[in-house]
Amino acid sequence: MAQQTSTRRTFMKTVSAAAVGLGVAGTASAAPSVSGAPVPDDTDLKYATMGTDVDNPTATVFGNFKCPYTQNFVNNNLKDVIDEYVSTGQLNIEFRALALQPPGTSSHGSSTYYISSSDPRISEVALSAWNEQPGEYWDFFEMMFDDRVSGTVTYGEMRNHLESAGVGDRSEIISNAKDGDYNNAIDQTADVAGSYGVSFTPTMELNGETTAPHHDTDSLLDWIGSQISGSSSSSASSSETTLTIDGTKTDGWTEYELSVDGTLEKSTAMDASKDWSDKLSGSTVNGKVGPWRDSYTISGEINHFTIGDGAVVYKNGETVDPQQLG
């Protein structure tokens, strides 16, 4: 698949270059646009996502609205990724703004904020814009990187940016951000970034692997192609679920019970440990987690899941309400 993709890419570049060189109007394909990226029909997704179908493989980009390297990616390589993989229905891109320093990484701006104290405010307004107006989000997103913000950024300035991008419901967007509706989402992004060892922005994660997406374009496109090809070649990958019980922010023990109607195996996903004290028998486990993570790979459906207070539960890297699992 990677070779076929590379050949198509080379062909399209050659045709476009020839058309431009000959001055043939309307022959070369239009330059890809971030603002024109497709949005999945399921717009209940918590984080900003571009793609044609919610079930497509999804790459997560950890970036920062003040970061010049993220700006470089958005204004250059991202457009090629959209053209080759997103618009063709092969890949979704989820953007998660990294506002807080991921656990276990060195400081960029301070020990708390990724770059500056404005980061949470910017990121929460952006998340609110996605959740209120997903169809207008990528126009706003592209504009934010066309004219990258700097210094202290206020809610008033963010409202002006929303207005410049033509985003509706601006009062509701700002109000939700001010009310702290997205505080947990910002915290969770830092935690998930830390679990993948993200130490710089932008970082792209796909199938548990990471890369710096702002360097050589062809290398990035080939890397994505190999990840998609590797994912599709595994017959079990589409039916497997990873469940992680995260106790890293707890002081004591959190007990849990899990049973499935398929197979259940311990996993090291999200830097989890394989703890001997967790009693795994067939498709059932009785476990407890302290200030670390337990992860399991599941095939089939979850029949039963109960957990005590304290730990956070992730399903395929996304936080979930444990009561919805079984």
Q: Which residue has the tokens 């060195």?
A: 106
Is the Cβ–Cβ distance between 1 and 105 less than 8 Å?
no
* Helices and strands: H and E segment counts in the chain: 9, 14
Q: Which two tokens stand for residue 8?
A: 């198509």
Winning range, highest mean pLDDT, from 173-182, 260-269, 300-309: 173-182
Are 117 and 124 spatial neighbours (Cβ–Cβ below 8 Å)?
Answer: no
pLDDT at position 275 over 60: yes
CATH node for 31-232 = 3.40.30.10
Rounded CA gap, 138 and 129, in Å?
10
Read off the pTM.
0.69
Tokens for 160, please give them: 């002006």
* Structure token digits, residue 19: 């058309």
pLDDT in tens, 52-100: 998 899 999 999 999 999 999 999 999 999 999 999 999 999 999 999 9
Mean pLDDT of 114-123: 95
User: Does the structure show a pLDDT above 60 at 233?
Assistant: no
